[in-house]
Chain A
Amino acid sequence: MGNTKHSKAAAKYLKDSAKVDWQDETLWLVRGKRDRLSKQIPEWEQLRDAASALKLYSNSHLPELLEQFEANATANGAIVHWAKDAEEYRSIIGGLLTAHGVKHFVKSKSMLSEECELVPYLENLGIEAVETDLGERIIQLMGLKPSHIVLPAVHIKRQEVGRLFEKEMGTEPGNCDPTYLTHAARRNLREKFLGADAAMTGANFAVASTGEVVVCTNEGNADMGTSIPKLQIAAFGIDKIVPDRESLGVFTRLLARTATGQPVTTYTTHYSAPREGSEFHIIIVDNGRSRILADREHFKLLNCIRCGGCMNTCPVYRRSGGYSYSHFIPGPVGINLGMESDPERHKGNLAACTLCHSCSMVCPAKVDLADQIYRWRQQWHSSATKKAVSDGMSLVMGSPWMLNTGLSVAPGGMKVLSALGLDWGKGRQMPQFASQKSLNKMMKEEKDEQ
């Protein structure tokens, strides 16, 4: 019955069991680091409560907070643009780059740019758009998409990077030492930074009280990028708004600890005024977020701060890989975001969850990820066969007569799922009906007693 897109892709992925185990261990290691760091903070659970409450507040007060942000950003000297959808986002950026005669463009990692498919659009305009986060750069040069929102190249082996860099950057054949390769990319991308006409970042937070945009990275790629050219662009979804710097105190304590198991990212940069002699453009993007806000059962999805923690902990993601999901964001939050963006296309992902609830407990902003998947399942069904099975179960298990008769005629040892015409796959034997004799005897004795 495994006929969803996810289960088919997962079945293929699972064939390379050494790689599956390696991915699982790698991601579990990150979850472990997150556990250790979170346990060093006695007030961790209060921080999560505060983050959740702050997001619920800001997302339910977006009109006034966005107005406040725009007024402050404008007073700081930035130029604010509004994009209702992906197309407008792309055309604003394309327009800015064209107007400034930009040929070489560097960008730091932004899931919004993936969502809005920016890079292919710019390449069509004849603009070189270089991803500067090392993982994103590897993925870009390989012609792939990120398989994880924080660790985009987590599925790529060092040997693959070695071969890629040998071709693209002229590194020594066969050398796949991560330090060597990272420093080769450092030199290679340094040229891109120095030659860039414009730089773009996403945003981790946009602060209404100050009109500033906060960007968190470990590599310093956003910082290198934005410190050189005369045009800087920052684009973010409306859900990135936080009310004030006081709330940044909460989010900056949670973000890196949950994402990568570090106390804070190396660089937490606050951009508000344009650098001397340059322009700073800010693009505020909706692209479906206001629709999520109107969805009473799922608006809490907007609490997400894109830390990737739910992916690292998800036992299904860790064993099926980012590409097995049909949405560009995989894992628990991706299952939910996909349903908001195009349910018909992404409903197959709903099956990729055991409802173990680990994601909901890792989430620093307390998005009720598992409960949301449960609710989506009530509206959208991943496959037609599942309905038949559910009906079969209701029929057999739901009638006292059927259940009793079924159990009394089923011979001890008969396989349970065969009774429903199901297969449980290779590597796992089906449970067998047990003899009811002893239980029936006990129940009869109990009745006689009364």
Chain B
Amino acid sequence: MSSKETIMAALRSAGAQAYEKPDLSALKQGSIHYEDKLEQFRAAVTASGGKVADYEGADLETLFSGEKDLVVVEGVFGVAENGCVWLNEPVGRPRVDYFIHEALAIVLDRNEIVDNMHEAYARLGEKNEGYGIFISGPSKTADIEQSLVFGAHGSRMVAILLK
């Protein structure tokens, strides 16, 4: 018997009571919504240690305090409740570009902001793109005495540039 068969047989013979799949529609409808999604998104990005600026006339040099090791990428949509941005597999550049530079700028259409993670996943649907990531602010750690430090392994600075 293969290990898969062994595991499946053990699961089937466990005789666990079968629970129904919950209907999440009431939860999703009743979940937090913001009057001004953009404002909430800004606040959430800032709280996560990131910056928000206008794409038009953005001065990356100032935004990233003179840091030269930076990259500008495209985000698909943002989430107001926690300030994260969804990015697909990057086109024409390696995936590691999302993480390896000191500073990361994500260009985002200001009209593409959803309220919460339920809406975010509803928007993504159940179809698979091969890779995708939510990024919320710069890389961080508090592993030394719970002191918050930006730039553990990924980008030390993150700015969202609103188009």
Contact = CB atoms under 8 A, between A and B. Distances in A.
B134 A57 contact: no
Q: Which 7 A-B pairs have the closest CB atoms?
A: A220-B154, A273-B130, A219-B152, A263-B82, A135-B143, A290-B10, A53-B22
B140 to A, nearest CB: 5
Contacts, number: 243
A219 B140 contact: yes
Contacts of B17: 60
A105 interface: no
Contact of A266 (B3, B121, B138): B138
Contacts of B146: 26, 29-30, 151, 154
Interface stretch (B27-35, B60-68, B105-113): B27-35
Interface residues of A, number: 92
Interface in B10-41: 10-22, 24, 26-28, 30-32
Interface of B: 2-4, 6-8, 10-22, 24, 26-28, 30-32, 44, 47-48, 79, 81-84, 94-96, 98-100, 116-122, 124-147, 149, 151-155
B20 A263 contact: no
Contacts of A219: 139-141, 152-154
A209 B7 contact: no
Contacts of B24: 50, 246-247, 249-250
B143 A253 contact: no
Contacts of B130: 76, 272-273
A405 interface: no
11 contacts: A76-B130, A178-B149, A179-B149, A228-B96, A263-B48, A267-B139, A272-B130, A275-B131, A286-B10, A293-B11, A299-B16
A243 B21 contact: yes
B145 A158 contact: yes
Contact of A42 (B6, B32, B121): B32
Contact of A227 (B99, B140, B149): B99
Contacts of B47: 263
A436 to B, nearest CB: 51
A269 B11 contact: no
- Most chain-B Cβ atoms within 10 A of its Cβ — which of A62, A182, A246, A265? A182
- Most chain-A Cβ atoms within 10 A of its Cβ — which of B26, B120, B149? B149
A394 interface: no
Contacts of B134: 252, 264, 267-269
A269 B133 contact: yes
Contacts of B13: 294
Given A66-B8, A284-B7, 16 more contacts: A46-B30, A59-B16, A66-B7, A135-B141, A182-B143, A210-B128, A221-B153, A227-B94, A227-B98, A249-B116, A252-B134, A263-B47, A264-B117, A265-B136, A266-B138, A269-B132
Contact of B143 (A153, A238, A249, A269): A153
A244 to B, nearest CB: 6
A291 B10 contact: yes
Nearest to A29: B146
Contacts of A227: 94-96, 98-100
Given A249-B117, A263-B48, A218 B131 contact: no
Nearest to A27: B146
A61 B152 contact: no
A82 B121 contact: no
A134 B152 contact: yes
A266 B118 contact: no
Contacts of B138: 266
A270 B132 contact: yes
Nearest to A162: B144
A240 B28 CA distance: 22
A147 interface: no
B53 to A, nearest CB: 19
A417 to B, nearest CB: 39
A63 B12 contact: yes
Nearest to B26: A46
A248 B134 CA distance: 12
B14 A293 contact: yes
B95 A249 contact: no
Interface string A58-77: 01111100100000100010
Contacts of A387: none
Contacts of B117: 248-249, 252-253, 264
Contacts of A270: 131-133
Contacts of A50: 22, 24, 27
Contacts of A29: 146
Interface in A219-247: 219-221, 223-224, 227-228, 238, 243-247
Contact of A82 (B3, B126, B140, B141): B3
Contact of B141 (A72, A218, A273, A294): A218
A158 B140 contact: no
B135 to A, nearest CB: 6
Contact of A83 (B3, B96, B99, B152): B3
A360 to B, nearest CB: 19
Contacts of A330: none
B2 to A, nearest CB: 7
